Amino acid sequence: MSKQVITINRTYGSNGRLIGKALSERLNIPFYDKELIELVSQECNIPAKELEKVDDIASRRIVAEHLRSSMMIILDGGIPSNVDRGYILRRLIRRMTRRLRKLQIDTNQISTLIDISIDAQKELYPELETNKERIKAVIIEEINKFEKTLERGEREFNKIVNKLKTENKDTISGQDLFTLYETYGFPPEVTQDLAEEQGIKIDNTEFDRLFKDHQEKSRMGSEQKFKGGLSGNGEKETKYHTATHLLNAALKQVIGKEVHQKGSNITPERMRFDFSCDHKLTDEEKKQVEDLVNKWINEDLPVTIEEMSKEDAIKSGAECMFIEKYPDIVTVYSIGDVSKELCGGPHVKNTKVLGTFKIKKEEACSAGVRRIKAILE
């Protein structure tokens, strides 16, 4: 005897369970929802909790809803960033990425998921179809950036949790939460999700205090950035300042064009250079950067200066931080053909006088920002 099965595929908030129960009563047939998990558990002698991991409805809903919301923000011109709606978009994509991993869905399939989601909505929002490729590009790029951070962060999170268990504790300290954020670029909201899943608490009060201190230090540092980060205008500071231009250019060649200077601090003893980067530099990468800077130093490249309008400087490809703070007429410093930046100086006349460049330390500065400390010998 054949049996007929009616399935109801529902979206979150549609009251599909209530509709299903009403339908089963009207047709006088059994109704199953979560009850199926218990039945399979008993029949196959598999713990219900293990089956629930497979049937992770919450994660599937989060993926569907976050993907839909992300597409709408991108359609409206939003891009992932750390401010305003760009930050909301970034958080949506990141949370969706982690849930995809939890569901063991390869993030390479996101393009297919976008196709499915757009196909379901294109009658109401036909502009989704016409902007499909742009939407895909933005989401895929953000996922690719975040996956490396997610993998490292989850690994460190698990170390913290294992340590808590051995010490018979149930709360992640604010310091550990801040370390995950500052050193590994792991977003606090993701740590919060992971902790909740494992029934672990978080000391948000301590984290908030540490984060506030971090913001204050960053603010004080940014006040010095526009001054070139120099503690003075002596001969040593001038050499180090020139070397930051070479370091910036070398990082772009070794790591990628997406690297940008985020700040610097220079004293007569050393230089400190902050730059955007989503991973800890390998020993090989540090060596390549070091060798490239020293190669340019030994080539005795000329350091030249030009005055031009800010608009022309930007068109010429000159790099710059805080472009809005510069006057209409700016100075552009070029080092051979390897570096071109808007800058206020001071600089040496040629690279040969710099000596030998040596990286002493490379570390995390904040989420998505790394720091190099180096000397000239």
Residues 346-361: pLDDT tens digits? 889 999 999 999 999 9
As given in the structure block, the two tokens for residue 141 are 């790029």
Q: What is the pLDDT of residues 299-348, one digit of tens each?
A: 999 999 888 887 888 888 888 766 656 677 888 899 999 999 888 778 89
Taking the C-alpha atoms of residue 175 and residue 203, their distance in angstroms, rounded to an integer, is: 9
Q: How much is the average pLDDT of 249-262? A: 90
pLDDT at 85 exceeding the cut of 90: no
Q: pLDDT exceeding 90 applies to what percent of the chain?
A: 27
Q: What three-state secondary structure class fits 306?
A: strand
Q: Look at the block and give the residue holding tokens 């040629």.
A: 350
Where is pLDDT greater, at 156 or 220?
156
Which pLDDT value is given to residue 218?
A: 54
Which pLDDT value is given to residue 226?
A: 40
For 232, half-sphere exposure in the C-beta direction (CA atoms, 13 angstrom radius) is 8
Q: How much is the average pLDDT of 220-244? A: 67
Residues 6+ apart with CB under 8 A from 51: 37, 40, 41
pLDDT at 14 exceeding the cut of 80: no
pLDDT at 223 exceeding the cut of 50: no
Where is pLDDT greater, at 183 or 254?
254
Model confidence band, residue 67 (pLDDT cutoffs 50, 70, 90): very high
Q: pLDDT exceeding 70 applies to what percent of the chain?
A: 86
Which pLDDT value is given to residue 84?
A: 76
Q: What is the pLDDT of residues 95-109, one digit of tens each?
A: 898 888 888 888 788
Which pLDDT value is given to residue 23?
A: 85
Q: State the pairing for strand pair 357-366/369-376.
A: antiparallel
pLDDT at 148 exceeding the cut of 90: no
Q: Which own/partner pairs from 139-142 qualify as long-range (CB within 8 Å, at least 24 positions apart)? A: 139/67, 139/70, 139/71, 139/74, 139/93, 139/110, 139/114, 140/110, 140/111, 142/80, 142/89, 142/90, 142/93, 142/94
Whether the Cβ atoms of residue 243 and residue 343 lie closer than 8 Å to each other: no
Taking the C-alpha atoms of residue 209 and residue 215, their distance in angstroms, rounded to an integer, is: 10
Q: State the pairing for strand pair 303-309/329-335.
A: antiparallel
Model confidence band, residue 374 (pLDDT cutoffs 50, 70, 90): very high
Which pLDDT value is given to residue 222?
A: 46
Which pLDDT value is given to residue 2?
A: 57
Which pLDDT value is given to residue 18?
A: 78
pLDDT at 157 exceeding the cut of 60: yes
Which pLDDT value is given to residue 227?
A: 46
pLDDT at 219 exceeding the cut of 70: no
Q: How much is the average pLDDT of 120-139? A: 90
Taking the C-alpha atoms of residue 71 and residue 82, their distance in angstroms, rounded to an integer, is: 18
Q: How much is the average pLDDT of 52-60? A: 67
Q: How much is the average pLDDT of 38-57? A: 66
Q: What is the pTM of this model?
A: 0.46
Domains of the chain: 16-54 (no CATH), 57-209 (no CATH), 226-376 (3.30.980.10)
Q: How much is the average pLDDT of 261-268? A: 85
Q: What is the pLDDT of residues 188-209, one digit of tens each?
A: 888 888 888 888 898 888 888 8
Where is pLDDT greater, at 221 or 103?
103
